[in-house]
Chain A
């Protein structure tokens, strides 16, 4: 059982470039989340989804976009990368009242 899979694990971008962070889960969870973790800080919510076709903003959504066309996939899009988006990104999913399952994270550096 793979759980929550994030790709890539590491990436370096130049300022102004765009990219998509992939997240897929095989547990048929309705709820999926994207968090970012800055150095020495806890995780902050970027976007979340309660099911296919439904997304909502979290605490720090500026500079990001998401889509949820299927239950399994929840990609996070950076359109114009900025140095402030250098961070570790975590995808998570959950079902009902069960705890969230986290992916292993994507370390993104923007230079």
Chain B
């Protein structure tokens, strides 16, 4: 079974600084999808960024980018120019290509400090 591990339960960063959240996963598949979701205090699940395993280029979305290391099964999220609104739980998730459900890590609580 696939597993997703987030080794940092909590992190903090100063406003305008850069922070990196770690994620590793375990799978025997070659094609799959990886995601980062943000969950603010409102409890909504908001997609931040996604990466297709067959793409070597790292995904970017404005201030958010990933470092995808397929051989190492690592998928870290970098947040640049951190803003107070980035304060949230961040979940790393895995999905096998197709209709399979998401497998989530336990999350990292990020606090952005003014």
Interface residues of A (CB under 8 A from B): 30-31, 33, 35, 40-45, 48, 50, 58, 88, 90, 92, 94, 97, 99-100, 102, 104-105, 107
Q: Which residues of A contact B45 (CB under 8 A)?
A: 43, 90, 92, 102
Contact across chains for B47 and A43 when beta carbons are under 8 A apart: no
- The interface residues of chain B, by DSSP majority, are classed as loop
Total A-B residue pairs with C-beta atoms closer than 8 Å?
49
A-B contact pairs, 6 of them (CB 8 A): A33-B102, A42-B105, A48-B101, A97-B98, A99-B35, A104-B43
Query: Per-residue CB proximity of B45-77 to A under 8 Å, as 1/0?
Result: 101001000000000000000000000000000
Report the minimal beta-carbon distance from B15 to chain A, rounded to whole angstroms.
25
Q: Is residue B91 within 8 Å, beta carbon to beta carbon, of the partner chain?
A: yes
Number of interface residues of B (CB under 8 A): 21
Measuring CB to CB, which residues of chain B are less than 8 angstroms from any residue of chain A?
A: 4, 33, 35, 42-45, 47, 50, 91, 93, 97-99, 101-107
